[in-house]
Structure 1
Amino acid sequence: MTDPTVAAPPPALVRSPLSDGEWHRLHPLTPLLRGGLALIVIVGIVIANLRDRLIAMFVPGMGEEEVESGDWETEAIDWVFANNLVFVALLIVLAVILLLVAGFYLSWRFHTFRITGDDVEVRSGILFRTQRRAPLDRVQGVNLTRPMIARLLGMAKLEVVGAGTDGNVKLEYLSTSHAEAVRADILRLASGRRLGGAAAARTGGTLSQTVSRGISGIIEGDDRQDLVPESVVHIPAGRLVASQLISPTSVVVVLGVVAIIVASVIGTPWLLFSLIPVVLSFGAIALRQIMRSLRYAIAPTSDGVRITFGLLTTVTEIVPPGRVHAIEVSQSILWRGFGWWTIKINRLTGRSIYDGSADQFTTVLPVGTYADVERVLHLLAPELADGDRPALVRQGVDGPTDDDPFTTTPKRARIIRLLSWRRNGFLLSGDLLLLRRGAIWRKLAVLPLARLQSIGIHQGPIDRMLRVAAVRGSIVAGPVYPNVSAIDRDQAIAVFEAVAAGAVRAAASDRSHRWAGEEDAAAEAPALLRRVSPPMLERPAAVPPLSESPVAQPPARLGDADPDAPPRTPRPPDAVIPEDPR
Structure 2
Amino acid sequence: MTTLADGEWHRLHPASPLLRGGLFIVAILGFIISNLRERLIDFFFHVPTYGDDPIDELFRRGAVGWALLGVVVILVVILVAFYLSWRMHTFRVSGEVVEVRSGLVFRSNRRARLDRIQGVNIVRPFIPRLFGAAKLEVSVAGQDANVHLAYLGSAAADALRRDILHLASGARAAAALPSDAAPDAAAEGEDWVEHAGTRAAGSALGPSLGSAIGTAAGGIAGGIGGFATDRAHEFFAPELDPDAAPPESVVRIPPGRLIGSVIFSGFTVFVLIAIAVLIWSVSAGGSGWLLIAIFPGLIGSLSFYVNRFTKSLRYSIAGTPDGVRVGFGLLSVSNETLPPGRIHAVRVSQPLIWRPFGWWQVRINTAGHSTNKGAAGEAHTTTLPVGTLADVARVLELILPGFDSDSGSENGREKLLVDHGVRSPGGDDGYTNAPRRAAWLRPFSWRRTGFTVAADTVLLRRGFVSRELTLVPLARLQSIAIEQGPIQRMLRLAKLRVHTVAGPVVATLPVIDVREGERLFERLSAGAISSARADTSHHWADPGHPLNRAMPDRPAQTLAPAAEAAL
TM-score normalised by L of structure 1:
0.80
Matched, 1:314 2:330: no
Q: Based on CA coordinates, which of the two structures has the bigger radius of gyration? A: 1
Measure how far apart 1:403 and its partner are. 3.3
Matched, 1:143 2:121: yes
Letter in 1 for 2:380: F
CA–CA separation in structure 2 for the residues paired with 1:484 and 1:338: 27
Letter in 1 for 2:402: E
Superposition CA RMSD, Å: 2.7
Partners of 1:407 and 1:425 within 8 A in 2: yes
Aligned partner of 2:299 in structure 1 is 280
Aligned partner of 1:361 in structure 2 is 380
Measure how far apart 1:354 and its partner are. 12
Q: Which moved more, 1:94-103 or 1:126-135?
A: 126-135
Q: Is the alpha carbon distance of 1:109 and 1:82 closer, same or farther for their aligned partners in structure 2, counting shifts above 3 Å?
A: same
Letter in 2 for 1:48: S
Aligned partner of residue 367 in structure 2, secondary structure: coil
Measure how far apart 1:444 and its partner are. 0.5
Partners of 2:345 and 2:500 within 8 A in 1: yes
Query: Which of the numbers 31, 41, 46 marks the counterpart of 2:27?
Result: 41
Letter in 2 for 1:250: T
Matched, 1:112 2:90: yes
Letter in 2 for 1:504: I
Aligned partner of 1:264 in structure 2 is 282
Q: Deviations over 1:412-449 (max 9, x none)?
A: 12121111110011112241111111011000110111
Matched, 1:405 2:430: yes
Partners of 1:148 and 1:218 within 8 A in 2: no
Q: Which moved more, 1:215-224 or 1:174-183?
A: 215-224
Measure how far apart 1:117 and its partner are. 0.9
Unpaired runs of 5+ residues, structure 2, are 179-193, 205-229, 405-410, 548-567
Partners of 1:112 and 1:124 within 8 A in 2: yes
Q: Is the alpha carbon distance of 1:25 and 1:301 closer, same or farther for their aligned partners in structure 2, counting shifts above 3 Å?
A: same
Output aligned runs, 1:233-272, within 5 Å. 233-268=251-286, 270=288, 271-272=290-291
Query: Which of the numbers 302, 318, 327 marks the counterpart of 2:346?
Result: 327
Aligned partner of residue 335 in structure 1, secondary structure: helix
Query: Which of the numbers 357, 363, 367 marks the counterpart of 1:338?
Result: 357
Q: Is the alpha carbon distance of 1:223 and 1:260 closer, same or farther for their aligned partners in structure 2, counting shifts above 3 Å?
A: same
Query: Deviating runs (4+, > 6 A) in structure 1?
Result: 352-358
TM-score normalised by L of structure 2:
0.82
CA–CA separation in structure 1 for the residues paired with 2:195 and 2:19: 32
Matched, 1:214 2:240: no
Letter in 2 for 1:43: L
Q: Is the alpha carbon distance of 1:253 and 1:210 closer, same or farther for their aligned partners in structure 2, counting shifts above 3 Å?
A: farther
Q: Deviations over 1:36-70 (max 9, x none)?
A: 343023211332144235545x36862523x2xx4
Q: Which moved more, 1:77-86 or 1:502-511?
A: 77-86
Q: Is the alpha carbon distance of 1:24 and 1:473 closer, same or farther for their aligned partners in structure 2, counting shifts above 3 Å?
A: same
Q: Deviations over 1:200-247 (max 9, x none)?
A: 999xx9645387842343334355435431211010011100111111
Query: Which of the numbers 313, 318, 339 marks the counterpart of 1:294?
Result: 313
Measure how far apart 1:106 and its partner are. 0.5
Aligned partner of 2:185 in structure 1 is none
| Structure ranking higher on relative contact order (CA contacts 8 Å, 6+ apart) | 2
Query: Which of the numbers 529, 535, 551 marks the counterpart of 1:504?
Result: 529
Letter in 1 for 2:100: V
Aligned partner of residue 478 in structure 1, secondary structure: coil
Partners of 1:472 and 1:482 within 8 A in 2: yes
Aligned partner of 1:157 in structure 2 is 135
CA–CA separation in structure 2 for the residues paired with 1:281 and 1:95: 40
CA–CA separation in structure 2 for the residues paired with 1:93 and 1:341: 56
CA–CA separation in structure 2 for the residues paired with 1:130 and 1:43: 31
CA–CA separation in structure 1 for the residues paired with 2:113 and 2:473: 24
Unpaired runs of 5+ residues, structure 1, are 1-14, 523-582
CA–CA separation in structure 1 for the residues paired with 2:402 and 2:156: 35
CA–CA separation in structure 2 for the residues paired with 1:25 and 1:38: 22
Aligned partner of 1:580 in structure 2 is none
Would you say how many aligned residue pairs link Structure 1 and Structure 2? 495
Aligned partner of 2:407 in structure 1 is none
CA–CA separation in structure 2 for the residues paired with 1:184 and 1:137: 15
Partners of 1:165 and 1:351 within 8 A in 2: no
Measure how far apart 1:130 and its partner are. 1.0
Q: Deviations over 1:88-130 (max 9, x none)?
A: 2211111111000000001111111111111111111112211
CA–CA separation in structure 1 for the residues paired with 2:92 and 2:199: 21
